[in-house]
Amino acid sequence: MEPLRALELYSGIGGMHQALRESCIPAQVVAAVDVNTVANEVYKYNFPHTQLLAKTIEVKNEKKSLVILLGWPKKFIQVFL
């Protein structure tokens, strides 16, 4: 089976990327997006081969299946604590 291709939104330091890796699901994170420059530096260190974008992106014509990973920003998590 061909690995799933994932786009990681609000990637932070890459927690969802690491969770996907540890799940043993055959998948590849093809790009990650976050506006937090400090988090992006940590992400680049942890996952140097993943394309990291510090801007909004649009998927206009994706012919293959696409899995989207979403890590909640800290301000949303605090509502539940």
Identify the CATH assignment for 4-80 out of 3.40.30.10, 3.30.465.10, 3.40.50.300, 3.40.50.150: 3.40.50.150
pLDDT range class, residue 27, cuts 50, 70, 90:
confident
Q: Which of 22, 25, 24, 19 is nearest to 69 (CA)?
A: 19
> What is the percent of the chain where pLDDT is above 90?
48
E strand or H helix that includes residue 51: strand 51-53
User: What are the residue boundaries of the structural domains of the chain, listed by start?
Assistant: 4-80
pTM value is 0.67
| In contact, 34 and 11? CB cutoff 8 Å | yes
Do the beta carbons of residue 31 and residue 7 sit within 8 Å? yes
pLDDT digits (tens, 9 = 90+) for 51-60: 999 976 566 6
